Amino acid sequence: MKRYFFLAVIASSILTACQSGSKQETSTVQGSDSTAIVAPQTDTAKVYNAYLAVKDNLVKTDPKAAQESAKTLAANLGNIKGCTEAADLANRIAATDDVKSQRNIFLQLSQDVIPLVKGMKTKSGPVYVAYCPMAGNGKGGYWLSAQKEIKNPYYGDEMLECGEVKEEIK
Please, are residues 58 and 153 in contact by the beta-carbon 8 Å criterion? yes
Average pLDDT over residues 12-23: 47
Please, are residues 27 and 39 in contact by the beta-carbon 8 Å criterion? yes
Does residue 146 carry a pLDDT above 80?
A: yes
Determine, yes or no, domain membership for 17: no
Does residue 32 carry a pLDDT above 90?
A: no
Determine, yes or no, domain membership for 5: no
Number of domains in the chain: 1
pLDDT at 125: 80
pTM, to two decimals: 0.79
| CA distances, 11 to each of 17, 103, 161 (Å) | 10, 30, 34
Determine, yes or no, domain membership for 73: yes
pLDDT at 170: 82
Give the span between the Cα atoms of 24 and 137, in whole angstroms.
38
Please, are residues 168 and 126 in contact by the beta-carbon 8 Å criterion? yes
| Average pLDDT value over all residues in the chain | 82
The boundaries of the domain holding residue 126 are 30-169
In this predicted model, which residue has the larger pLDDT, 94 or 120? 94
